[in-house]
Every structure is written in C-alpha cells, then in structure tokens.
Amino acid sequence: METPKTLQQAIVYFSKPENCNAFMIMMRWPDGKVRCPQCDSENVTYLEKARLFKCYGKHPKAKFSLKVGTIFEDSPIGLDKWLSAIWLIASAKNGISSYEIHRALGVTQKSAWFMLHRIRLAMQKKSLAKLSGHVEVDETYIGGKARNMHKWKREQAIQGRGGVGKVAVMGLLERDGEVRAQVIGEADQDTLHKAVKRNVRRGSEVFSDGWKAYNGIDERSRYIHSVINHAEKYVDGNVHTNGIENFWSLLKRTLKGTYVSVEPFHLFRYLDEQAFRFKKRTGNDLYRFLEVASNLVGKRLEYKTLIGETAQ
C-alpha cells in the first residue's frame, strides 16, 4: 500500500506492525540502520514475536523497542494507535478532544488525554529564527475562573486590561508566516517589550493596537512601530492587526467548541497546538502528520509533569 492520504487509510496502514516499524525507522534513522539507544551499535537484530530489537553489546537493557527515546517511551499503547492518533490530531482543524480519541481508537479516555498532551509536545517545534518583515502583535484574555487555577497561576491572574481571573496571552504574527503565542503574567510594558525583542528581528515593522504598553517599542530605531487606534478604525492601509485577531478567534473557537474545560495550567500546550495548525494551514493532512512525526524523537513528557506535580 502506498502512503496514506486520509485518516481511514492511515488507520488501515498503521494496523500492520511492519508498517509502523518501517515508519518509525524512517523517522529515526533516515539511513535505515537501526542503532542501539544504549551503545549506538548497529549490531542489532529484530525479535519478531516480542516486537523488540536486541543489541549484541554487553550491557543491561539489551532489548529495546522503537519507542525508546520518543514521546511514546514507557507507554503500553501500541504504535498503531499512537500513529493514528497523531494523524487525527494533526488533521483536526478545530482540535480534538480526548473523548473523540477514546472513541475513535478504543483507548481509555485517560490514556487518550495523556496521548493528546504528549503529541502536543511534538507540535511545539520552535523555530529559532526571529520573525521579520511585517509583524502584528496583540494580547488576548482567555477565561477561566480563578478558583479552578493552580495556585501559582492564580497569583498571575490578570487584574488589569482583561479582567479578574483571566489568563493573558500574547501573540506575534508574521504576515504570510508563522504565529507565536505565549501565556504572559501581565500585559505591561516590560513584558510586552521583552516578548517583541525576543521574537522579532530588529528593523521589522511592528503593528499593534493603541494599548499604551507598546509605546516606545520603536526606541533607538529598533523597530518601525505602526499603531491602529481601534477607537477610530480597524484598517488604515496596511496598518491593522487583523491577522492576529483572526488567530485569536480561531483559538477561542477551538477552546470553546472542543476543549470544553482547559485548565489555565495547560493553556500553553493548546497555544502551541493552535499555532502549529495555523502555520501548517496550507499543507495537506499527510504533510501535517509528517511535521508532527518528525518531532517524535527526543521529547518525553512524564505523567507527573503533566498533571502539575512538578514545576514546568
């Protein structure tokens, strides 16, 4: 069978262990040579029945699965379900809930929830390059009652521009490029200026609304700053923040429609997921699937971290 193009084809394709293995090997070792995660030796053999590889090197844990060193490590869930779940999540335009994964793939809802979070981790591919050219900046506030928040997050809850008990999110969008969004403590000058400097290349044109905290961002000619005063109009030539506002409305639709109750504690994961979809909006489902899958290696997320028992 050739490369799957639809969810149904993907589920059929990955129901065969040999296809899962071939796919994982292709993603991890582009030269096709499986190497031992302990000693990097190529002297390994596949144990068909156990679906494990065995290294001939003399060291403990000589048997290993293709999940070792990926976001799937330590998970009892099979690669068939994992890879299908990635396809589901990467292709769902408005996000997908753990209940939908649970029903579609026949895993428990709790497992589905954990899978979703691990896959989001693979969607966090942060490019190191700064945004440039025309960059829109804005903040928004995501609801959430303060009493539901973890304590440390509650302390950061916004008291100013957006109202009590909401979480402030800052977004930066390069026109015709990618969008970045992050939870911020407060939408004050210090926070917003730092975020712009960290993410936007010097000399770029920065567009914002009239929020006073953006004042002075063009100091020492670091940026060209154009302001659209929403009290007067929303567009003035190329001066507007419609791109980032479009992203906010997509984000809020996703949060309302699919993720009924998002803990503010987990919000940053949803932001990354939505930013990923936004960036990949022009590709097809296979392309989005491969983008996520190419990030599988080297990212692990422990359950403890996920439920907030340890600091981020």
Binding positions for Zn ion, rule: CB under 5 A: 36, 38-39, 41, 55, 57
Question: Which C-beta is closer to Zn ion: that of 39 or that of 239?
Answer: 39
Question: Which C-beta is closer to Zn ion: that of 41 or that of 229?
Answer: 41
For 101, 124, 249, 252, 281, the CA distances from 291, given in Å and listed in that order, are 20, 11, 24, 24, 12
Residue 181 beta carbon to Zn ion: minimum distance, rounded to whole angstroms: 42
Residue 153 beta carbon to Zn ion: minimum distance, rounded to whole angstroms: 43
208, 137 Cβ separation under 8 angstroms: yes
Question: Which C-beta is closer to Zn ion: that of 56 or that of 287?
Answer: 56
Question: Which C-beta is closer to Zn ion: that of 70 or that of 254?
Answer: 70
Question: Which C-beta is closer to Zn ion: that of 55 or that of 293?
Answer: 55
Residue 157 beta carbon to Zn ion: minimum distance, rounded to whole angstroms: 50
Residue 32 beta carbon to Zn ion: minimum distance, rounded to whole angstroms: 18
Residue 54 beta carbon to Zn ion: minimum distance, rounded to whole angstroms: 9
Question: Which C-beta is closer to Zn ion: that of 39 or that of 183?
Answer: 39
Residue 36 beta carbon to Zn ion: minimum distance, rounded to whole angstroms: 3
Residue 211 beta carbon to Zn ion: minimum distance, rounded to whole angstroms: 56
Question: Which C-beta is closer to Zn ion: that of 18 or that of 40?
Answer: 40
Q: Which residues contact 182 (CB under 8 A, 6 or more apart)?
A: 169, 170, 195, 268, 271
CB atoms within 10 A of CB 60: 6
